[in-house]
Amino acid sequence: MKITGFELRRIAMSLVRPMRTSFGTLADRDVLLVRAMTENGIEGWGECVAFSAPIYSPEYVQGCAEVIERFFAPAILARKETAAEEVSGLLEGFLGHQMAKATIETAVLDAQLKERGQSLATYFGSTKEEVDCGVSVGIASSIDLLLEEVSSYVEEGYRRVKLKIEPGWDMEPVSAVRSAWPKIPLQVDANQAYSSRDAEHLSKLDRFDLLLIEQPLNEHDLLGHRELAKIMQTPICLDETVTSVADARQAVALGAAEIINIKPGRVGGYLESVRIHAFCQASGIPVWCGGMFETGIGRAANVALAAMPGFTLPGDTSGSSRYFHRDITTPFVLKNGRLKVPQGPGIGVVIDRAFVDEITTEIRRIGDV
């Protein structure tokens, strides 16, 4: 398959609930979309999950756009033919930038599968027609507001609730939610907010019967996670630590991870996600699909991934209305706590091009699109 050009498009997505970050509260999500065009006139789409600033990983939207434009796109356009399975190897010489790599690989993969008439779910070997959905709940300004927000999600039918925690906001909110909903599957996400010195404190979470605690310590502190796993009954789940299947192997071998959250953008793409899934399934390690405030483009691909057999825990694959007043694709609507897996060619969703044009803030083109 010959790729003739790429379009890099920035859009501003209005959020239903403002996103609290380390540099302020955001009402909009700055999203980078990449459109790949083949010589046969087939287009493929990928979505970059980086934030506007490097607050989750070293990557950020402007940087991703620049590295794709200057390095990744020219490397692919220089080839007579490119298969999606070759993209990661082709870009391996460019260090890091997993989110940018994932974006361009997904665009190429979407185009490739559309040419074949094959869905992403079929390509992955997914086995489910619907996936169980969880929801991630951020730090609230009060316990009452937290309970009000969680209540709305429980009423919508979400099958798992994840609470963000940090020092000073952990035992009390978790206790309040667990008391209000004694049976609901509940987990917590620390986003690296604690240190090994907090091990005894974190072990107090065991009494709340949690599915897991996600990334309690710094992403580089594998030994700390291993020692914490010896103290806590609650399973340790790694997120930011795992950026490749090699990282997953190391974490599991050290006893630092009992569960792994697979975020395709974080690990460099859906094909690496499939490799991590295969390793974890063979090793008896449960996995689930994390979310990064994706539009319908990224959500469609995540749902297809989450339909693979090793994804045994509900992911952050919420409905479109959880994040956006209006999505750029046919919206994903929660029904009985589940989302349907797209079955159309490629990522399998219809893009609202008129709306995308309306919210576009910048366009760059490389090659013939």
Instruction: Clarify whether 164 is annotated catalytic.
Output: yes
Amino acid at position 150, single letter? V
Q: State pLDDT tens for residues 178-206.
A: 999 999 999 999 999 999 999 999 999 99
Number of neighbours of residue 220 by Cβ within 10 angstroms: 10
Low-confidence stretches of the chain (pLDDT beneath 50): none
pLDDT of residue 25: 72
pLDDT of residue 154: 96
Residue 99 structure tokens: 């989110």
Instruction: Clarify whether 263 is annotated catalytic.
Output: yes
Number of neighbours of residue 50 by Cβ within 10 angstroms: 29
Residue 51, helix vs strand vs coil: coil
What is the CATH number that goes with domain 122-340? 3.20.20.120
Give the active site residue among 2, 80, 164, 335: 164
What end-to-end distance do the CA atoms of the chain give, in Å? 15
From residue 32, how far is each of 55, 99, 156, 311, 354 by CA, in Å? 17, 11, 30, 27, 17
pLDDT of residue 22: 55
Domains of the chain: which residue ranges? 3-117+350-367, 122-340
Architecture of the 3-117+350-367 domain: 2-Layer Sandwich (3.30)
Q: State pLDDT tens for residues 27-66.
A: 789 999 999 999 999 999 999 999 999 989 999 999 999 9
Give the active site residue among 128, 263, 335, 340: 263
pLDDT of residue 23: 58
Residue 102, helix vs strand vs coil: helix
pLDDT of residue 19: 72
Give the helix ranges, DSSP H, for the chain. 61-67, 73-77, 84-90, 98-116, 120-124, 143-156, 171-180, 199-202, 222-231, 245-254, 264-267, 270-283, 296-306, 353-358
